[in-house]
């Protein structure tokens, strides 16, 4: 889609916009399902990069301690508990610039992926920059989706990160696409960007080929000690407009209402679901920051009549006999 087209959608009167995005959602997805994803920071802190929002950058005094990579056994144990709690997607995140084939840490991540894949959950990893070869190895180990966010518009990106470029992000995404893994790619709002910047970010996402399988929309969680620690919260109607525009522009993508839900009201989150968000991070902790408690989330989903989405089996159509029914109707 062009920026002009996205702007036209985004600027529609609010109720017309969410009515349209609701229709786009109902045309492509089962009405009441929300995907529950569990996040685990498998390697925390001490990152060489200077992403201005991130508590894990070694450049800022954020109070987050550097830790070593978790073992496959420990990771598997957390994944088992997540599955017991109803999560159908397990996402492992590592704080480093990237990791290469031949590095023992990469071998260890591959083993963790193999173990989580055996549990029947969708496996997502977010490991920073990736080469072509590493992408293929991750795919072969059982990764469903690779998360690598473009975070903001190409124009605003250098104001947020200087240790790598927007093009570096796109290069990694290209390697992921080539390997056959799905791309999970979105961004953060509330980092001093304009609403136009947000649409420019969405323009880039809508021009991916293939389209992203999921689009996380994070609201900045201002982390003490980072350059962005005093940014004001995002306006709820701007967030809902962005979710609705994303749903219309990328109807088959999972739109994940990601970081920052602790600063949203229940009513605000309900509007986000109505507008087309159909995935959340579930569990008390994101990577280093807080997430709403599991009990509160269960209560909210119950109140709204929403149920956890089954994992995508990767093979069978929605109406087949397959136990792990495909979530998407298309």
Q: Which CB sits closer to ligand DTB, 139 or 261?
A: 261
Q: Which is nearer to ligand SF4, 10 or 166 (CB)?
A: 166
| Of the candidate residues 35, 87, 112, 126, the single one contacting ligand SAM (CB under 6 A) | 126
CB of 203 to ligand SAM, least distance (A): 18
According to CB under 6 A, which residues from 84 to 103 bind ligand DTB?
Answer: 91, 93
Radius of gyration of the chain (CA): 18
Rounded to whole angstroms, how far apart are CA atoms 256 and 280? 5
Q: Using CB under 6 A, which of 152, 153, 218, 279 touches ligand SAM?
A: 218
Cα 86 to Cα 139, 164, 257: the distances in Å are 24, 36, 18
Collapsing DSSP states into helix, strand and coil, what is residue 61?
A: coil
Confirm if 96 and 108 have CB atoms less than 8 A apart: no
Ordered DSSP codes for 169-230: HHHHHHHHHHHTPEEE--EEE-SS--HHHHHHHHHHHHT-SSPPSEEEEEEP---TTSTTTT
Q: Which x/- pattern over 103-132 shows residues binding ligand SF4 (rule: CB under 6 A)?
A: -------------------------x----
- In the residue annotation, 51 being an active-site residue is answered as yes
Residue 259 is a binding residue for ligand SAM (CB under 6 A): yes
By the rule CB under 6 A, 197 interacts with ligand SAM: no
186 forms part of the interface with ligand DTB (CB under 6 A): yes
Q: Which two tokens stand for residue 50?
A: 């200077």
Q: Which one from 20, 37, 89, 91 is the annotated catalytic residue?
A: 91
Q: Is 62 in the site for ligand SF4 (CB under 6 A)?
A: no
- Helix orientation angle between 195-206 and 236-249, rounded to the nearest 10 degrees: 20
Give yes or no for a cis peptide into 145 (omega within 30° of 0).
no
Q: Is 128 in the site for ligand SAM (CB under 6 A)?
A: yes
Q: Which of 54, 185, 219, 272 is catalytic?
A: 54
Catalytic annotation on 322? no
Q: Does 205 bind ligand SF4 (CB under 6 A)?
A: no
Q: Is 148 near ligand SAM (CB under 6 A)?
A: yes
CA–CA separation, 281 and 275 (whole Å): 18
| Other CB atoms within 10 Å distance of the CB of residue 79 | 23
Query: Position of tokens 């959950």?
Result: 121
Backbone angles phi, psi at 43, to 5 degrees: -150, 110
- Binding mask 118-137 vs ligand DTB (x if CB under 6 A, - otherwise)? --------x-----------
**Between 33 and 67, CB nearer to ligand SAM:** 67
Q: Provide the H-helix boundaries in the chain.
A: 3-10, 14-28, 72-84, 104-118, 132-141, 157-160, 166-179, 195-206, 236-249, 266-275, 294-304
| Cβ nearer to ligand SAM, comparing 128 with 276 | 128
CB of 323 to ligand SAM, least distance (A): 31
Active site residue 184: yes
C-beta closer to ligand DTB: residue 17 or 226: 226
Partners of 89 in the β-ladder: 37, 122
By CB atoms closer than 10 A (0-12, 13-18, 19+), residue 249 is buried
Residue 288 touches which member of ligand SAM, ligand DTB, ligand SF4, none, C-beta under 5-8 Å by kind: ligand DTB
Among 55, 116, 127, 239, binds ligand DTB (CB under 6 A): 55
Catalytic residue among 20, 115, 124, 198: 124
- Residues classed as catalytic: 47, 51, 54, 91, 124, 184, 256
Question: Which chain residues interact with ligand SF4 by CB under 6 A?
Answer: 47, 49, 51, 54, 56-57, 95, 128
Site residues, ligand DTB (CB under 6 A): 39, 55, 91, 93, 126, 147, 149, 186, 216, 218, 221, 258-259, 286-289
């Amino acid at each position: 889609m062009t920026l002009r087209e996205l702007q036209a959608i985004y600027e529609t009167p609010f109720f017309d916009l969410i009515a349209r995005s609701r229709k786009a959602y109902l045309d492509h997805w089962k009405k009441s399902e929300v995907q529950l994803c569990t996040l685990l920071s498998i390697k925390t802190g001490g990152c060489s990069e200077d992403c201005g929002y991130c508590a894990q950058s070694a450049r800022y005094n954020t109070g987050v301690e550097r830790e070593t990579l978790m073992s496959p056994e420990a990771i598997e144990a957390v994944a088992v508990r997540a599955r017991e709690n109803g999560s159908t997607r397990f996402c492992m995140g590592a704080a480093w610039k990237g990791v290469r084939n031949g590095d023992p840490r990469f071998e260890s991540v591959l083993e963790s992926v193999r173990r989580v894949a055996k549990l029947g959950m969708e496996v997502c990893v977010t490991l920073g920059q990736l080469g072509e070869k590493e992408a293929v190895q991750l795919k072969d180990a059982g990764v469903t989706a690779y998360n690598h966010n473009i975070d903001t518009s190409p124009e605003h990106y250098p104001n947020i990160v200087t240790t790598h470029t927007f093009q570096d992000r796109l290069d990694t995404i290209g390697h992921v696409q080539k390997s056959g893994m799905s791309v999970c790619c979105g961004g953060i709002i509330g980092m001093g960007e304009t609403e136009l910047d947000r649409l420019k970010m969405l323009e880039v996402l809508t021009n991916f080929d293939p389209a992203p399988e999921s689009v996380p929309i994070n609201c900045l969680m201002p982390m003490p000690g980072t350059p962005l620690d005093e940014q004001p919260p995002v306006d709820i109607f701007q967030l809902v407009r962005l979710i609705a525009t994303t749903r219309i522009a990328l109807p088959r993508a999972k739109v994940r209402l990601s970081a920052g839900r602790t600063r949203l009201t229940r009513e605000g989150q309900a509007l986000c679901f109505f507008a087309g968000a159909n995935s959340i991070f579930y569990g008390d902790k994101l990577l280093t920051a807080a997430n709403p408690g599991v009990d509160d989330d269960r209560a909210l989903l119950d109140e709204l009549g929403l149920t956890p989405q089954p994992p995508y089996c990767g093979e069978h159509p929605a109406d087949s006999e397959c136990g792990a029914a495909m979530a998407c109707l298309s």
